[in-house]
Amino acid sequence: MLRHFLLFVVEFFLPLAALFAFFYFTDFVFEKESPVGIVIILASSAYFLFIWLFFFNHWIDYYLDVWIVTNQRILNIEQEGLFSRTISELNLEMVQDATSEVKGKVATVLNFGNVYVQTAGEEKRFVFEEIPAPRQVASKIIELHQSAVKRAAVEEMKEATSKSLGEKDTISSPQKNETKTF
């Protein structure tokens, strides 16, 4: 699950619009062959390079920040810059609460927001930031938590039953001193 794509687009609209406006107006004001025109072209090229690096860094941050929810655990993979990544894992049995939050008019219309997953572990809260359909994600996490707890209880009962049966089904053979377990 990734962040809502529209947030990524809005982040880059203003710098790109400023860049194109800068190129458009400098074309009419300065002659390209004049010394001032050459400096303007050089400055605008440097500005374009920094905008491209800014765009690339945010694209990496957007594309590599991933939340994965399975029927057993939640994985949070968070990219922090180009060369740093944090991966957190949470068993669904540890979930205590999942809360969705939608703030603002745009977020309400486009149905995106945050989901907070409260846990009993060391990291007390997992945050799914700016994801689509947060209410459905939170309810699905609670549903998966309930099925994980039921599955763990069934496995615990099977284990306890097999241990108790293992102790009771042990018999001694009178002819040989060997023990058989069924």
DSSP letter at 150?
H
Helices (H) and strands (E) in the chain, counts: 4, 8
Is the pLDDT confidence value at 4 over 70? no
Determine the average pLDDT of the residues in 26-52.
Answer: 78
Specify the fold of 71-163.
Answer: PH-domain like (2.30.29)
C-alpha to C-alpha distance for 49 and 53, rounded to whole angstroms: 6
State CA 153 to chain mean position distance.
29
Q: What is the pLDDT of residues 141-166, one digit of tens each?
A: 999 999 999 999 999 898 888 887 76
134 or 171: whose pLDDT is higher?
134
Determine the average pLDDT of the residues in 78-86.
Answer: 87
Q: What integer pLDDT is reported at residue 30 of this predicted model?
A: 66
170 or 15: whose pLDDT is higher?
15
pTM of the model: 0.68
Which residue, 48, 66, 65, is CA-closest to 12?
48
28 pLDDT band, cuts 50/70/90, is low
Residue type, 59: W
**Is 138:100 a contact under the CB 8 Å cutoff?**
yes
Residue type, 61: D
17 or 60: whose pLDDT is higher?
60
Question: What are the beta bridge partners of residue 88?
Answer: 76
3-state secondary structure of 93: helix
